[in-house]
Amino acid sequence: MNSLKNSVRLVGHLGNNPEVKEIASGKKVAKISLATNESYKKNTGELVTETQWHNLVAWGKTAEIAEKFLQKGQEVCIEGRLNNRSWEDAEGQKRYATEVVVNELLMVGKKAS
């Protein structure tokens, strides 16, 4: 049951190419945006699609794989955990972010062209 705590699985399309940086320790970190869609019909019969955007962060080998193989528009399946963080910006305002720290990554669809 421990594996169910703070567990996230998403299937969606990449909103951009992974933004990969190397930190001082030599470890790589990738920031990725992922869009998930949900469709439903209104009472009028009109089909509506809602898109949710998710901020993903991958570290180490997972970041290297993302850098090498992922492209904007590609469909992927990820598994990870939610992470909430806060910081103070240059103007002294408190900022908050929720992101998914990716543990596993699976390329589902064809590579975007």
Query: Does the pTM of the predicted model rise above 0.85?
Result: no
31-86 pLDDT per residue, tens = 999 999 999 999 999 999 999 999 999 999 999 999 999 999 999 999 999 999 99
Partners of 56 in beta bridges? 32, 100
Mean pLDDT of 88-110: 92
Domain 2-39+47-107 part of CATH 2.40.50.140: yes
Cβ atoms < 10 Å from Cβ of 22: 10
Distance (Å, whole) CA 113 – CA 97: 31
**φ, ψ (nearest 5 deg) of residue 92:** 85, 10
